[in-house]
Each structure stands twice: as structure tokens, then as C-alpha cells.
Amino acid sequence: MIQRFSLFVAVLIVGASSLMLAVQVTGQTVGEVKDTSLEGNVAQNNTIILNAAEQGEDETAEQGEDETAEQGEGEKYRWIDGAGMENPHLSINSNTEYTIKIDNPTDEEHQLVIDSGADGNVSEIAKGHEVKPGKSDEFKFTANQVGELGYHCKYHPDQMNGTITVS
């Protein structure tokens, strides 16, 4: 009985590993080696992934708030990259087109805005579409000058923001 159980567990582990491998190589031709290394937070195919994420209660929310308060108050949102980093610092090259992909699994609307400064309160350079809850979006962006840019969410600029270094 123990041998059968051990064999079952081994088959289960090998099967799960094979499934994970199949998921990872989707989209590749047989024998092709796919380089998934990141330069900062940007995939080699010039794709930036910034997903909206709800991180629970915001510490600035008042204790014992009225239950009739607007839904969404006190929630803490962040941009999360493909590696799981919160509000990551992005490094990109000037005069190179990037695809920015956004997934919104939260219950609030989000919109990525790229601006001319790292503090999120300067002039707008580019922006994606408004991404409704449960939806995704992508847009193209090219930085024409070397320097530092900022990015933020139109609706949550104090929580969802970061910097972009353009070299």
C-alpha cells in the first residue's frame, strides 16, 4: 500500500511539473529557446507588465469608519510587475517602442499615466485606456528623450506610482 501511494505521489509530481513546463513554453516552436530574462522590469521583447493589485486596507484609513462610507475607501492599490515587485522602477531605452500590458483584477477602475516627472504631478506624456474591473488593456509607448519620467494611476496617484529611467 505504501509503495502504491509513493508511486502515486511521484506520478502526481511529475505530471504537475510537465504541466508547468507546457504552460511555460506555450507560443514557442519546437527547439526554439525563449529568453525570458529581464532588463530591470522589461521583458526582452520590449513588453512591460504592470498589473493593478489590491493590497488590503490602507494604513491611512481611519479606524471605525462609518459603514456607509464609499466603497473602496481605505483600500491600498499598487502596480505590480511580472516579478511581483510593487510600484517598480522601470528602465527603458529612448527611441524604442514598448508595449505596456495592464491587467485589472481589482474592483476599481485604473488608468496608467506616464508623466514628465518622477513625482506623478507633472505634465502628462502618455496614457493608456481606462481599465475597468476584470478587464485588460495594452498600449504602445516610446520615450524620445533620455532622463527620468514618472508613472501613476489616474484614480490612485498617491498609491500607484513609480519612476521610469530612460537611457
At 61-92, the pLDDT tens digits run: 444 444 433 444 568 999 999 899 999 999 99
Superfamily for 38-55+75-166?
Cupredoxins -  blue copper proteins (2.60.40.420)
How many other C-beta atoms lie within 10 A of the C-beta of residue 101? 17
* Reported pTM: 0.66
Residue of 81, 79, 90 whose CA lies nearest to 52? 79
Q: Bridge-partner residues for 103, per DSSP?
A: 136
Q: Is the dihedral of CA 84, 87, 91, 95 positive or negative?
A: positive
d(CA 93, CA 166): 5
Per-residue pLDDT tens over the stretch 93-131 = 999 999 999 999 999 999 999 999 755 457 899 999 999
- Of 77, 99, 95, nearest in space to 86 by CA: 77
- Stretch 1-18: mean pLDDT: 46
pLDDT of residue 58: 52
